[in-house]
Amino acid sequence: MANKVSKKLILVESPTKVHTITQFLDKTYTVRATMGHIIDLPKSKLGLDEENNFEPSYIVMRTKSKMLKEITAAASKADIIYFATDPDREGEAISYHLKNKLKLEKKETHRIEFNEITKKAVLAALASPREINANLVYAQQARRILDRLVGYKISPLLWKSIQRGLSAGRVQSVALRMICEREREIEAFKPVEYWSVIARLKGEETAEFNAKLIQVKGAKAVIKTKEEGDKIVSECISAEYIVRKIDSREKNRYTAPPFITSTLQQEASKKLGFTARKTMMIAQSLYEGVNVGEEGETGLITYMRTDSVRVSEDALAEVRGLIKDKYGAENLPEVPNTFKNKKNSQDAHEAIRPSSVLREPAAIKQFLNTDQFKLYDLIWKRFVASQMKGALLEVTSIDIAAGEYLFRATGNVIKFKGFLSVYDITEDKDEKKEGEEDETDSDKNPVLPKLSEGQKLILVKLIPDQHFTQPPPRFNDASLVKALEENNIGRPSTYAAIISTILDRNYIERLDKRFKPTELGFLVCDILVKNFPNILNVEFTAGMEEELDTVEEGTSTWQKVVMDFYKPFSESLSKAALTLGEMKKEADPNAEKCEKCGKPMAVKFGFRGKFLACTGYPECKSTKSIGGEAEETAPTGVVCEKCGANMILKFGRFGKFLACEKYPECKSTKSIGIGIKCPKCGGDVVSRRGKKGSFYGCGNYPKCDFITNAKPVAKACTKCGYPVTSLVKGKIKCLNAECKHEEEAKEDAPAKE
């Protein structure tokens, strides 16, 4: 009699993974998706036993009861159950809660994980299962409880002091504070004028080049006014220019490590213009699997939530072989390049790299949508470059005397390209410190002519140029992620969610791809900083991340971390309740009166900004906009395309828009995008209003006719790869007219309150 064949069930998080993994296995395996968390804290109440060390009371999420029934039915038919949720704290918690809920004592159960969704990786994981890691589960539970306490305890205080519906988050509020403090630095900044002088020179038989004035009478050249600059120019016109010193040296430029989550988000923002959220959504689709022709569906990159630069031996051998064959042995180091992880890195997963570097971007371009290709190409090139030799530059500087003035010309020549032949790292040029001098390219020379010391030069012209010191720029996706990482705020997997949360709450807004606090954001931030200084403290929040790491490492318990946090937090709560209660003043007797009932109007905040509401609510529901149909705010930093003046934010009857500050002389206006790129032309999708109500369309109309009634989201269709879909009543709907695919929306890890 033949042995009975065991039936096996594999549980993953995403339906895309189901399709990819199924094709790797035989028919004894069934693969089902949990669609994220199924078990979580209740939304309607705190869900924590405050008398018993905040023991959580988990329930089946209301939207997941049907999903649980389907998984329970599948588990009842299986002999072996494999939990293959994402390889992180959230994934471990999903497996733990699901295993307990399914009551599988009589079943054989295993936890498996893979860093990439390829046949080799999946089969290797099945061959080496493990137990669920309780420390990972407890670390996730500690974070969940801390976030729940902050959200459910502080938010009601904001309702009393400002308005209902507001919320606070343990980590997001710190990010909001960073953005608000940067904005106040910008507002307080006083620009300082300074001047530079560039000499355009040449030899008897050489090409022209630029040299910048660096010294006056042996001291650093500091030119504060136009008059000082004019005096220098008048004295330098008649001076004799002589080469005093030539310094030429070789400089090594070393390659960068492969991507981790934070660096991927930063580079995708700088090079591709992607938001952090968009980057992670596209990376998720590449990780979960794409149909690449004869190979079928396969994961193209390794797991995209990681803070480790470690690379497997197999991947190193593969990329070194490719470098030797494609770029030549002269670009291959004798031994693989190694990189150090940053402090506090968990090193649970490899760096972000292609699952196979032999799958070159050009070879699979036809199977990817535009954004998928751009991101895959970026990841592939960065990984290949990380294992190539460094570049060798020849750096030359020439000092030129003109009487008591000294000019300097600099130039760089690449002698050996090395990794630069594949990938060049984007420099953070716009993150200058407050008051730092503005940069100019007028004094830079890619190549300098051959000159000799003592040689006389010919002055072609002198160029005086006015500058002003610049304030620190507003954060964008790249610089905010960098700041969060440097300050140890949150974890790589949470950066995109942090930004999305404070945007969705209308605490900040995007202006020209940079973050500006709204008036509501400033108000919430100020109240939280005043009443909860520890919660809004960068060092305190970073310390909490380290405490959570100790739970994962097994050197501390989740109960201790929670209780250590709650003792000082509860004291702040008590004080804040009194302070905010006193702050809730009676209506101002001089306030504008309601036109309907005559009671004073009070300032309220909504998703479109400030407005006036009757204090007689709910008996009187009268409201009124502030400032009429168009209320001006401060300059936005956006330049008018017609006249070059600043654009300012205005509020019209159809919402916010940008208008030229020189109105009515210049009547140029510009719509404000919603942070989504048009799938047809790449322009910004904006909110519009027509005779039949609101809709969304391309900002390049009438050149581009993209239009949709449903609000688009930057999530690619899992069937056709169309880069934009919509979320309607819990379903993801493809906006490609030729596809129209629909699927249940994957519920992300529970939002951090």
pLDDT tens digit sequence for 341-367: 876 665 567 899 999 999 999 999 999
**198-209 per-position pLDDT tens digit:** 999 999 989 999
Give mean pLDDT, residues 128-135: 95
Q: Please state, in angstroms and rounded to a whole number, the distance separating the CA atoms of residues 523 and 703.
A: 41
Instruction: List all residues 6 or more positions away from 482 whose beta carbon is below 8 Å from its beta carbon.
Output: 262, 266, 428, 431
Q: What's the whole-number average pLDDT of the chain?
A: 86
Fold of the domain spanning 193-254+391-468: Topoisomerase I; domain 3 (2.70.20)
**273-301 per-position pLDDT tens digit:** 999 999 999 999 999 999 998 888 899 99
Q: Check residue 542 and give its pLDDT.
A: 87
Classify domain 141-189+473-583 by CATH architecture: Orthogonal Bundle (1.10)
Residue 84 has pLDDT above 60, yes or no: yes
Q: Check residue 492 and give its pLDDT.
A: 83
**451-487 per-position pLDDT tens digit:** 999 999 999 999 999 999 999 999 999 999 999 999 9
Q: Please state, in angstroms and rounded to a whole number, the distance separating the CA atoms of residues 21 and 9.
A: 12
Give mean pLDDT, residues 72-88: 93
Cβ contact 306:351 at 8 Å? yes
Give mean pLDDT, residues 24-40: 93
Q: Please state, in angstroms and rounded to a whole number, the distance separating the CA atoms of residues 684 and 499.
A: 19
Instruction: List all residues 6 or more positions away from 51 whose beta carbon is below 8 Å from its beta carbon.
Output: none
First to last CA, the chain: 58
Q: CB count, 10 Å around CB of 659?
A: 19
**543-600 per-position pLDDT tens digit:** 888 899 999 999 999 999 999 999 889 998 988 887 765 555 444 555 678 888 888 8
Residue 236 has pLDDT above 90, yes or no: yes
Each residue of 445-482: b (16+ CB within 10 Å) or e?
A: beebbebeeebebebeebebeebebbbbebbbbbbbbb
Number of H helices, E strands in the chain: 17, 35
Q: Which CATH class is domain 261-386?
A: mainly alpha
CATH for 8-132 (3.30.565.10, 3.40.50.140, 2.40.50.140, 3.30.420.40) = 3.40.50.140
pTM for this prediction: 0.75
Domains 8-132 and 193-254+391-468 share a fold: no
Residue 432 has pLDDT above 70, yes or no: no
Residue 495 has pLDDT above 50, yes or no: yes
Instruction: List all residues 6 or more positions away from 437 whose beta carbon is below 8 Å from its beta carbon.
Output: 194, 467, 469, 470
Each domain of the chain, given as residue ranges in start order, spans 8-132, 141-189+473-583, 193-254+391-468, 261-386, 672-753
Cβ contact 609:629 at 8 Å? no
Percent of the chain with pLDDT over 70: 89
Q: Which of 29, 287, 303, 495 is catalytic?
A: 303
| Omega before 702 within 30 of 0, i.e. cis | yes
Confidence bin at 627 (pLDDT 50/70/90): low
Confidence bin at 437 (pLDDT 50/70/90): low
Q: CB count, 10 Å around CB of 214?
A: 16
| Among candidate residues 289, 279, 325, the one with its CA nearest the CA of residue 22 | 289
Q: Check residue 260 and give its pLDDT.
A: 93
The type of residue at 561 is: V
Q: Please state, in angstroms and rounded to a whole number, the distance separating the CA atoms of residues 472 and 480.
A: 13
Residue 630 has pLDDT above 70, yes or no: no
Cβ contact 699:671 at 8 Å? yes
Structure tokens at 384: 């290949």
Give mean pLDDT, residues 691-695: 66
Radius of gyration of the chain (CA): 30
**Catalytic (active site) residue 376:** no
Q: Check residue 631 and give its pLDDT.
A: 41
Strands 514-517 and 219-220: unpaired
Give mean pLDDT, residues 93-121: 91
Residue 420 has pLDDT above 60, yes or no: yes
